[in-house]
């Protein structure tokens, strides 16, 4: 039996176990997906233990996405982003990957959102914003990053190809000519709030929100009312999991089964 899992702290809220277990059932794989919650100071020992126990792969979540870089051989994308969310133990050394960027791109492709040559605005310069900005840039989009602390957006824009950065005061102007808007902040998760003024939204825009609880955020409601194409955060969660599963197993992921399992719990 192959064992895969998630390492983070906390992990009790995660929707990855039912999503991956649904995939194993659909593919008739003898595999299980479990969660591990080590203390932050025990990460090195936890990873060594996972390797010693023959665990095949791990997803990585807060607070370990950056720290884990010290203990794996990160691929080019994960190295540029500066974070790993998927570890593959199948080789001589554990390899680290970032499927958040890929998850965002595949979500937008699923909804027929063109990326090459697009003008994209990413709100937020944290871990999710960083991954999404790199993913969009690698697909040929020009990226404007807007963040509450403008210096963080400017710093990120220096790392991302063909990107610019600024504060939230620059957001409305950036959206006016944009083709794509992505909320990569947690605004909208705890309260019915949005980081984007409703008046800035327009019908020529595609809007993706990385927040998936609630599934329909205020940003997405207002974007839909403005005639924009909308993509909820569960799609990104789904496709980062799809990419991880395909890396680990070599199988084509049963996307519909994984999506049904995910959305049944939202």
Tens digit of each residue's pLDDT (9 = 90 or more) over 123-141: 999 999 999 999 999 999 9
- Indicate if 172 and 62 belong to the same structural domain: no
CATH number at residue 221: 3.40.50.720
Active site residue 65: yes
pLDDT bucket at 71, cuts 50 / 70 / 90: very high
Mean pLDDT in residue range 16-21? 98
Mean pLDDT in residue range 199-216? 97
> Range of 58's domain?
2-97+235-263
Q: Are 100 and 76 in contact (CB under 8 A)?
A: no
- Indicate if 54 and 78 belong to the same structural domain: yes
- Indicate if 190 and 251 belong to the same structural domain: no
- Of 5, 16, 65, 105, the catalytic one is 65
Number of compact structural domains in the chain: 2
User: Which residue(s) pair with 74 in the sheet?
Assistant: 96
- Indicate if 52 and 167 belong to the same structural domain: no
- Indicate if 115 and 227 belong to the same structural domain: yes
- Indicate if 200 and 177 belong to the same structural domain: yes
- Indicate if 71 and 93 belong to the same structural domain: yes
pLDDT bucket at 24, cuts 50 / 70 / 90: very high
Q: What's the pLDDT score for residue 86?
A: 98
- Residue 12 burial (10 A CB sphere; 0-12, 13-18, 19+): exposed
Q: What's the pLDDT score for residue 19?
A: 98
Angle at 183 between CA 181 and CA 189, to 5 degrees: 150
pLDDT bucket at 21, cuts 50 / 70 / 90: very high
Sheet of 73-74, strand order: 31-36, 2-7, 57-60, 86-88, 95-97, 73-74
Share of residues in the chain with pLDDT > 90 (%): 100
Mean pLDDT in residue range 173-201? 96
- Indicate if 93 and 175 belong to the same structural domain: no
Q: Which of 124, 118, 116 is nearest to 145 (CA)?
A: 124
Helix or strand holding residue 222 (H, E): helix 218-225
Mean pLDDT in residue range 98-113? 97
pLDDT bucket at 202, cuts 50 / 70 / 90: very high
Q: What's the pLDDT score for residue 263?
A: 97
Q: What's the pLDDT score for residue 225?
A: 98
- Indicate if 250 and 174 belong to the same structural domain: no
- Indicate if 177 and 217 belong to the same structural domain: yes
Q: How far is CA 255 from CA 35, 241, 246, in A?
A: 22, 10, 11
- Indicate if 173 and 209 belong to the same structural domain: yes
Q: Give this prediction's pTM.
A: 0.95
Mean pLDDT in residue range 142-168? 97
Q: What's the pLDDT score for residue 34?
A: 97
Q: How far apart are CA 16 and CA 5, in angstroms?
A: 8
- Indicate if 224 and 118 belong to the same structural domain: yes
Q: Is the peptide bond before 214 cis (omega within 30 degrees of 0)?
A: yes
Mean pLDDT of the chain: 97
CATH number at residue 66: 3.40.50.10860
pLDDT bucket at 231, cuts 50 / 70 / 90: very high
pLDDT bucket at 260, cuts 50 / 70 / 90: very high
């Amino acid at each position: 039996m192959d064992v895969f899992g998630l390492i983070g702290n906390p992990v009790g809220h995660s929707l990855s176990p039912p999503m991956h277990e649904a995939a194993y059932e659909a593919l008739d794989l003898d595999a299980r997906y479990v969660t591990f919650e080590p203390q932050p100071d025990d990460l090195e020992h936890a990873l060594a233990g996972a390797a010693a126990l023959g665990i095949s792969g791990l997803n990585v979540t807060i607070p370990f996405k950056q720290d884990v870089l010290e203990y794996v051989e990160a691929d080019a994308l994960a190295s540029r982003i500066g974070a790993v969310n998927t570890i593959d133990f199948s080789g001589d050394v554990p390899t680290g990957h970032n499927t958040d960027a890929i998850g965002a791109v595949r979500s937008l492709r699923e909804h027929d959102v063109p990326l090459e040559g697009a003008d994209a605005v990413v709100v937020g310069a944290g871990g999710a914003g960083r991954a999404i900005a790199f993913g969009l840039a690698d697909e040929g989009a020009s990226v404007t990053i807007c963040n509450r602390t403008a210096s963080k957006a400017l710093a990120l824009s220096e790392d991302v190809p063909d990107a610019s950065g600024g504060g939230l005061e620059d957001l409305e102007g950036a959206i006016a000519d944009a083709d794509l808007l992505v909320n990569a902040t947690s605004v909208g998760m705890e309260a019915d709030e949005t980081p984007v003024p409703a008046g800035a939204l327009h019908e020529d825009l595609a809007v993706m929100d990385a927040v998936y609880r609630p599934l329909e955020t205020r940003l997405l409601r207002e974007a839909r009312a403005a005639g924009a194409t909308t993509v909820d955060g569960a799609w990104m969660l789904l496709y980062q999991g799809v990419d991880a599963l395909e890396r680990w197993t070599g199988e084509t992921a049963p996307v519909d089964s994984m999506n049904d399992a995910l959305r049944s719990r939202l």
